[in-house]
């Protein structure tokens, strides 16, 4: 004769099904540091169903080793679900931005903050925004604040426009200096003032971007959609010492070379002699000048410009200064940061007429 048969335990079956269904929601919420609403909803519905099916006591007639078996099943489900629930930086940042991902700046440290640049391709990052992302549990990324790029970083769509951003002197004076940043500088590199990140757009034809330190160390920068890039300047790392970004084409030709900092435009403008310094008591009208700034190593300057740079060592600053009447000059200045202890005194800048392009452009 067969042994006694026990009626099924629908209440317990409902509890098991509830546990299996709610586990993925709970684990995903924990890994992504998101709301556990889904898990609680499944638990609530499942508990009500188990209570009804179990006649008010779903724990009756629990099969032998039933709880242990459920625990083993849940333990086996946990690791793969947790790994599958992880978000990469782009996925996490999409929660805070509707624009497509243009570039990533991901830190090396586990608990550090990274950035995802969102922009509409083909719009030169006009209206772009940054989203802070953080690596957390099991390597998953979670989104933080969304940061609109400041006005100086909202690269315009039109290259030949006239609405160029102005450089103003520091407070308390707000008198116009008559010095403007050239559009090709605004369209290449921009350091976001409140964040340790540099964003920009590479010139057409760029296949490699290199960030270089003052000691000559080079780090390759990934190129994103539409030539966009983003670099996070991590503290206590080589990134904090980045001096410039160099853009190369498929043949290794230098297309552009920009500093990662800002400022110095007025200094180049005055050195050109196309505009003079005035104080608040003067009201003499001057034609504004527009400055485009570049930076080369002394070796590059000798090879590409076929002349000896001022001040011998370190990096060389080059600027094209164009006055609104069409007169254009090139200004070459040694930066005064030699790589040797013994060095000669600073030399005056080289100022010469220009056809509107820096000397390293072929």
pLDDT in tens, 10-48: 766 777 777 777 777 777 776 677 777 777 787 777 777
* C-alpha count within 13 angstroms, C-beta hemisphere, residue 146: 14
The DSSP output letter for 358 is: -
DSSP SS3 for 179: strand
Confidence check: pLDDT of 150 > 60: yes
What is the rounded distance in angstroms from the CA atom of residue 31 to the CA atom of residue 48?
A: 27
pLDDT in tens, 175-200: 456 788 887 787 788 888 788 899 98
Contact (Cβ atoms closer than 8 angstroms) between residue 211 and residue 260: yes
What is the rounded distance in angstroms from the CA atom of residue 247 to the CA atom of residue 257?
A: 6
Tell me the CA distances in angstroms from 325 to 168, 287, 322, one per residue in order: 21, 7, 8
- Residue 342 is predicted with a pLDDT of 60
Q: Which of 135-139, 280-284, 310-314 has the highest mean pLDDT?
A: 135-139
Give yes or no for a cis peptide into 171 (omega within 30° of 0).
no
Count of CB atoms situated within 10 Å of the CB of 222: 13
- Residue 46 is predicted with a pLDDT of 73
Top pLDDT among 344 and 89 is at 89
Q: For the chain, give the mean pLDDT.
A: 77
Top pLDDT among 91 and 171 is at 91
- Residue 54 is predicted with a pLDDT of 63
Confidence check: pLDDT of 138 > 70: yes
When computed from its CA atoms, the radius of gyration of the chain, rounded to whole angstroms, is 31
DSSP bridge pairs for 104: 116
**Token pair in block for residue 291:** 């400055």
CA dihedral 34, 36, 37, 40 (to 10 degrees): 180
Among 54-58, 76-80, 166-170, 322-326, whose mean pLDDT is lowest?
166-170
Packed helices 37-53 and 10-32: angle between N→C axes, nearest 10 degrees: 170
Q: Which of 133-142, 187-196, 198-207 has the highest mean pLDDT?
A: 198-207
- Residue 162 is predicted with a pLDDT of 38
Q: How confident is the model at residue 362 (pLDDT cuts 50, 70, 90)?
A: low
- Residue 116 is predicted with a pLDDT of 94
Q: Please report, for the chain, the start and end positions of each structural domain, with discontinuous segments joined by +.
A: 10-84, 87-260, 264-362
Q: Any idea how long the chain is? A: 362
DSSP secondary structure of 274-341:
SS----TT-------EEEEEEEEEHHHHHHHH-SPPTTSSSEEEEEEEEETTS-EEEEEEE-S--SSS
Confidence check: pLDDT of 278 > 90: no
DSSP secondary structure of 101-114:
EEEEE--SSTT-EE
- Residue 182 is predicted with a pLDDT of 81
- Residue 214 is predicted with a pLDDT of 81
Q: How confident is the model at residue 281 (pLDDT cuts 50, 70, 90)?
A: low
DSSP secondary structure of 218-249:
EEEE---GGGEEEEE--TTSGGGGEEEEEEE-
Nearest CA-CA partner of 180 in 159, 165, 161? 165
Q: Is the pTM of this model over 0.95?
A: no
């Amino acid at each position: 004769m067969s042994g006694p048969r026990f009626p099924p335990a629908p209440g317990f079956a409902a509890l098991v099904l509830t546990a299996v269904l709610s586990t993925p929601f709970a684990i995903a919420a924990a890994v992504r540091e998101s709301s556990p609403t889904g898990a609680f909803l499944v638990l609530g519905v499942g508990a009500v169903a188990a209570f009804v099916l179990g006649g008010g006591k779903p724990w009756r007639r629990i099969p032998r080793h039933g709880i242990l078996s459920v625990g083993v099943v849940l333990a086996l489900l946990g690791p793969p679900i947790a790994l599958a629930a992880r978000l990469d930086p782009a996925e996490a940042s999409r929660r805070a931005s509707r624009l497509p991902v243009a570039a990533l700046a991901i830190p090396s440290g586990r608990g550090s903050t990274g950035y995802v640049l969102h922009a509409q391709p083909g719009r030169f990052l006009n209206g772009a925004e940054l989203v802070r992302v953080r690596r957390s549990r099991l390597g998953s990324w979670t989104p933080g604040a969304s940061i609109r790029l400041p006005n100086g970083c909202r690269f315009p769509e039109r290259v030949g426009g006239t609405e160029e951003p102005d450089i103003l002197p520091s407070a308390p004076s707000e008198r116009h200096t008559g010095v403007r940043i050239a559009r090709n500088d605004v369209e290449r590199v921009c350091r976001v003032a409140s964040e340790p990140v540099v964003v920009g757009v590479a010139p057409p034809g760029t296949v490699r971007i290199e960030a270089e330190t003052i000691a000559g160390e080079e780090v390759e920068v990934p190129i994103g959609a539409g030539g966009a890039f983003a670099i996070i300047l991590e503290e206590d790392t080589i990134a904090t010492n980045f001096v410039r970004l160099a853009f190369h084409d498929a043949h290794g030709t230098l297309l552009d070379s920009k500093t990662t900092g800002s400022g110095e435009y007025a200094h180049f403008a005055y050195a050109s002699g196309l505009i003079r310094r005035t104080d608040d008591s003067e009201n003499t009208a001057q034609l504004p000048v527009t400055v485009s700034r570049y930076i080369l190593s002394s070796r590059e300057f000798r090879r590409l410009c076929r002349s000896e740079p001022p001040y011998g060592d370190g990096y060389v600053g080059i600027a094209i200064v164009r006055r609104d009447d069409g007169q254009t000059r090139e200004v070459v200045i040694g930066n005064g940061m030699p790589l040797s202890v013994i060095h000669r005194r600073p030399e005056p800048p080289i100022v010469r007429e220009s056809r509107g392009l820096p000397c390293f452009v072929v």
